[in-house]
Structure 1
Amino acid sequence: MTIKIGDTVPAMTLVKATGDGPAPLTTADLFGGRTVALFSVPGAFTPTCSARHLPGYVDNAPAMKAKGVDEIVCVSVNDAFVMAAWGKSANIGDNVTMIADGNGDFSKALGLTFDGSNFGMGVRGQRFSMIIKDGIVAELNVEPAGAFGVSSAEHLLGQIA
């Protein structure tokens, strides 16, 4: 079943890419008592993700934070080392927190996966964005296969109340 607006984000532990290496982070700690802009990409270093998706959130971070977003989080079915390297190469600074969903458990729990086996990628998280307020999904934008639009930073920025 796919998560929807009004649902609580599943309780689980993710892995945060840090300068000191991978660090466990519960969804309760990540989303509880705050407003988070979360976006998912099919893979680090992939063309659309690197050229448009992640840079859009970096560029729009000040505007999102001015509208009350406490943290911007990028999640992908990659390991924490890959997420850290991608963040560093994209010069994200403190604008975006890179979260690894290494086994795809979080994406599966959200009901937002696709099978990229034809591309040698296995099961991946779909391209989507959310506004999460105190652990509850307030906005949800899921892209059709191969599209990039409603999960963009610009679209999500327009949804932040």
Structure 2
Amino acid sequence: MIERGNPVPSVGIKLVTAAGVEDTTSQAALGQGTVVLFSVPGAFTPTCHVNHLPGFVANAARLRAAGVDRIVCVATNDHHVMKAWAETTQSLDDVEFLADGNGALAEAMGLAKDFTASGMGMRYARSAMIIRDGVVDALFVEDAPGVHASGAPAILMALEASVAA
């Protein structure tokens, strides 16, 4: 599993922003500035749709005030689904989305999780990380169902603690 001090792996992904969809690499999308990347098992899934994404949208201004340049959500869904989710939640002003349809980035970061028992195949473990200039500064992986360690409030606390240190 990716750890603090590791660079973000560079794999092909699709970036979904308010400007549209573009082919890029994870390193290009996450490699500059301070980025909060959070991973969800799937767009439109109950916990991701109701708890995880909305927390980052609601706290976007506070995250930016704490020094975050970009907030990015990643899932193993294709770019059509990620774009529809972003538009449905009206979150493109606050969050960018990475479509990792084949799970290559999930595998490269060691965050792939087997959800086949739920009929969902391989997905991301629910997590969040603070990335500074392409290097992981902090990683938060959920060890139980729900949004706790990887939610926006926890990331805000970690950012505030790093400033105070």
Report the TM-score when normalising by structure 2: 0.92
CA distance in 2, matches of 1:66, 1:123: 35
1:98–1:33 distance in 2 versus 1, CA, 3 Å: closer
> Over residues 4-38 of structure 1, what are the superposed CA-to-partner deviations in whole Å (9 max), with x where a residue is unaligned?
11111111221112467531122232222311000
CA distance in 1, matches of 2:92, 2:122: 29
Counterpart residue number, 1:33: 32
> Over residues 98-130 of structure 1, what are the superposed CA-to-partner deviations in whole Å (9 max), with x where a residue is unaligned?
110100000000001111111111010110000
Q: Determine if contact 1:130/1:140 at 8 Å carries over to the other structure.
A: yes
1:135 aligns with 2:140: no
Report the TM-score when normalising by structure 1: 0.94
Q: Determine if contact 1:33/1:134 at 8 Å carries over to the other structure.
A: yes
Unaligned runs of 5+ in 1: none
Moved more, 46-55 or 144-153: 144-153
Structure 1 vs Structure 2 CA RMSD = 1.4
Q: How far did residue 79 of structure 1 move?
A: 0.4
Q: Determine if contact 1:22/1:81 at 8 Å carries over to the other structure.
A: no
CA distance in 2, matches of 1:140, 1:19: 27
Q: Secondary structure at the match of 1:140?
A: strand
Q: Determine if contact 2:36/2:71 at 8 Å carries over to the other structure.
A: yes
CA distance in 2, matches of 1:20, 1:8: 27
Q: Which amino acid aligns with 1:30?
A: A
Q: Determine if contact 2:36/2:130 at 8 Å carries over to the other structure.
A: yes
